[in-house]
């Protein structure tokens, strides 16, 4: 995205790309729930509206976190995929989940993916990244 940045701090720049609530939840749903279509994201229990979803998906595609291709089974559908940049967010999303399990009233069930990735450490994260690459990149 070609906008002037107020700060070239890497944390600020990263948050410009994926730092809002809905963008992270979209990435989470792709990683842990296998969601790839617009309608699937709308069914998130957090209740994203269609206009916000459209904007966030467009932003994530524009920044290169996601790619969008036409769905060969339906003219008006698209398939969203994580790009290598998006797949590299797995450790970040995992650590947010670890923090959330520790400091919020998250349920055991909702925290299970983060717990498993924390317990398995980097080897399990690398294995999951490989599975995401296969599913999203072919």
CATH number of the CATH domain containing 56: 1.10.10.10
Q: What percent of the chain shows pLDDT beyond 70?
A: 98
> Does the residue 92 lie in any domain?
yes
What residue numbers bound the domain in which 83 lies? 10-137
Total structural domains in the chain?
A: 1
How far apart, in Å, are the Cα atoms of 91 and each of 9, 29, 73, 78, 122? 20, 15, 33, 27, 8
Asked if the structure places residue 1 within a domain, the reply is no
Per-residue pLDDT of 80-117, as tens digits, reads 999 999 999 999 999 999 999 999 999 999 999 999 99
Residue 96 is assigned to a structural domain of this protein: yes
Nearest-angstrom CA–CA distance, 69 and 85: 17
Residue 4 inside a domain? The answer is: no
19 in any annotated domain? yes
Backbone torsions φ then ψ of 7, nearest 5 degrees: -140, 140
CA dist 87 and 74 (Å) reads: 26
Across the chain, where does the E strand assignment appear?
A: 66-70, 78-82
């Amino acid at each position: 995205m070609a906008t002037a940045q107020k700060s070239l701090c890497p944390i600020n720049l990263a948050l410009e790309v994926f730092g809002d609530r809905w963008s992270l939840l979209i990435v989470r749903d792709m990683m842990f729930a296998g969601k790839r279509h617009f309608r699937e994201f709308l069914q998130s229990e957090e209740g994203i509206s269609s206009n916000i979803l459209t904007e966030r998906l467009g932003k994530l595609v524009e920044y290169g976190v996601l790619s969008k291709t036409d769905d060969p089974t339906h003219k008006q559908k698209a398939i969203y995929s994580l790009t290598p940049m998006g797949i590299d967010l797995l450790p970040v999303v995992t650590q947010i989940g670890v923090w959330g399990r520790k400091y919020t009233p998250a349920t055991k069930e909702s925290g299970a993916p983060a717990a498993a990735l924390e317990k398995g450490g980097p080897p399990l994260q690398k294995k999951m990244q490989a599975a995401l690459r296969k599913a999203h990149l072919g």
